[in-house]
Amino acid sequence: MPIDAEVDDGVIDLGRRSPWLVLCIVLFGLFSVNVTITILAVSIPRIATELRSTDQFVTWVVTGPTLAFGIIGPLVGKLGDRLGHRRVYLWGVFGAAVMAALSALAWNAGSLIAFRTFGAIEGAATGPASFAIISRVFPREQRVKALGFWSMIGAGAPVLGVVIGGPLVEALGWRALFACQIPLVLLAGALAWRVLPETPRDRTGSFDVAGAALLALAVAPLLFALSESARLGWASPVVLACLVVAPLSLVGFVAVERRVADPLLPLRYFARRNFTAPIIALAFLNAAYMGSFILTPLLLENLLGYSESRTGLLSIARPLAFSIVGPIAGYLTVRVGERVAALAGAATVVAGMMWMSTLGLTSTDLMIVGSLAVAGIGMGLSMPALSSSITTAVDERDLGIAGAAQQMMVQVGVVFGIQVMQTVQVVRAEPAGLAASYHQAYWAGAGLAVVALLASTVIRRIDRTGRPSDERAEAEVAIEGGLDALAPVGAT
């Protein structure tokens, strides 16, 4: 397919094709690839028994993909900026079909973990690529509406996987899940091949291999330490080594990015509040949201004695509320602005966490569903606004790496939130009692969401041409200019 023409404001001219058709095709592929990232989380004991392994080892069926998804994002985001996001998207979709087939044929726990981890790499490729394609085919005044649907699928597919994973595995077996995924992904790939436009490619300069390696060394040990600290303990030599390697690698990454002519992630973007603040807000919102998503089934089953089926049915309220509100929020943000929408969403997530902290033996199903739905509404309100702010804070040629940076920080936030809230619950169970330990864990989740609320206060409203409307933009430009002046000649 030839590269589509690009109009003056950076939007691709699709000819007779509708950008909404492109959006539907992109989101169909994104859903088909990402829905299985977490789908096995509720079936670890069953898989461990079948493959003659242990629950602890098989947990890597979920942990491995989580690590890969967070690490590989910036690399594939930059590759998309250089090679074209349509190409990277197609690689991700068709690669996911191959990994699904291999997962269905896995002969032991090690092979399943390997195939799911490589499958997550393919899934990570579709995230930044879809983000960049959507941002390129929609003009800035409509972009936030489209990103409402993108947020719904990007965050909702893995969550839906957790909800439906148990019943499907119980009915069909875990291998059948991947067998069913293959035709779904292949159909998505065929439609994408036919419809998706290519994005402009930036082939200037060289690829920042050192920056990619150092960023991976910063993110991978951090995610590993967060995910394994509950099992190994914070005093474990492995966990402590990871907590030393991660910040040292991050320092090295910053040093490299300040020197190279074509950095993996231009550091000047971190001086832009509409880049840094939304990424921080997204990380902490997802920390609270996913931390509570994993914690709530434990409360319902361990404290209230609910069955897996009843727990799964009630849990649907959260992704359902998210899926309904997300697209609507995209249209609402056009009227009220990114800052107001982000603040409203973060405040609603805080309210949802506080409501969950009241759940106990006397709670009705309606109260449980209501608290979960409030959290889903909050995420649906905030994510389109936060994602839209990021797209308007970077150069058009860096939309892929912007989406990847967002994806990476969300994964860090997810793992961090799960570990923080579960640790609070476990530590407080004996001195405070089982019910109170869950309440205090939700308070911790509310604290995480408050950080997101504070970060959202500094986001500037974007006018519909994508330019910051706040008069303080002039001061920010001066800061960015100062950073560029400090950079070596030839650096960007």
pLDDT digit string, tens, across residues 118-173:
887 777 778 778 878 887 888 777 777 777 777 677 666 666 666 666 677 777 77
* End-to-end CA gap in the chain: 32
Residue 13 pLDDT: 64
Phi and psi angles of residue 467, each rounded to the nearest 5 degrees, phi first? -95, 140
Residue 165 pLDDT: 64
Helix pair angle (140-172, 365-393), 10° resolution? 140
Residue 39 pLDDT: 65
CA–CA separation, 307 and 300 (whole Å): 8
Percent of the chain with pLDDT over 70: 80
Contact 129, 90 (CB under 8 A): no
What residues contact 480, with CB distance under 8 A and at least 6 apart? 268, 271, 272
DSSP conformation letters of 411-423: HHHHHHHHHHHHH
Buried b (16+ CB within 10 A) or exposed e, 72-110: bbbbbbbbbbbbbbbbbbbbbbbbbbebbebbbebeebe
CA–CA separation, 117 and 66 (whole Å): 8
Digit-coded pLDDT (tens) for 242-282: 889 989 988 998 888 888 877 777 788 888 888 999 999 99
Is 443 a residue whose pLDDT tops 90? yes
Mean pLDDT lowest among 56-60, 332-336, 366-370, 419-423: 56-60
Fold of 1-204: Growth Hormone; Chain: A; (1.20.1250)
Tokens, residue 307: 């069955």
Q: Which residue has the tokens 């058709």?
A: 21
Whether the model clears a pTM of 0.85, i.e. scores above it, the answer is no
Q: Specify the higher pLDDT residue, 146 or 39.
A: 146
Residue 6 pLDDT: 46
Q: Specify the higher pLDDT residue, 171 or 37.
A: 171
CA–CA separation, 477 and 166 (whole Å): 51
Mean pLDDT lowest among 7-11, 31-35, 253-257: 7-11
Digit-coded pLDDT (tens) for 295-323: 888 888 888 888 766 877 787 788 788 87
Tokens, residue 470: 């706040």
- Integer CA distances (angstroms), 269 to 80, 209, 284, in order: 19, 20, 20
The pLDDT confidence band at residue 29, using thresholds 50, 70 and 90, is confident
The pLDDT confidence band at residue 489, using thresholds 50, 70 and 90, is very low
Domain 266-470 has CATH 1.10.10.10: no
Tokens, residue 477: 């430009």
What residues contact 181, with CB distance under 8 A and at least 6 apart? 32, 35, 36, 96, 97, 100
Instruction: Centre a 10 Å sphere on the Cβ of residue 147 and count the other Cβ atoms it contains.
Output: 30
DSSP conformation letters of 130-143: HHHHHHHHS-HHHH
Residue 377 pLDDT: 93
Residue 10 pLDDT: 59
Query: What's the chain's average pLDDT?
Result: 79
pLDDT winner (highest mean) among 6-10, 31-35, 68-72: 31-35
What residues contact 160, with CB distance under 8 A and at least 6 apart? 35, 319
Domain assignments of the chain as residue spans, ordered by start: 1-204, 266-470
Run of H or E including 25: helix 19-34
Is 437 a residue whose pLDDT tops 80? yes
Q: Specify the higher pLDDT residue, 376 or 471.
A: 376
CA–CA separation, 70 and 217 (whole Å): 12
Residue 472 pLDDT: 41
pLDDT winner (highest mean) among 31-40, 200-209, 252-261: 252-261
CA–CA separation, 129 and 92 (whole Å): 9
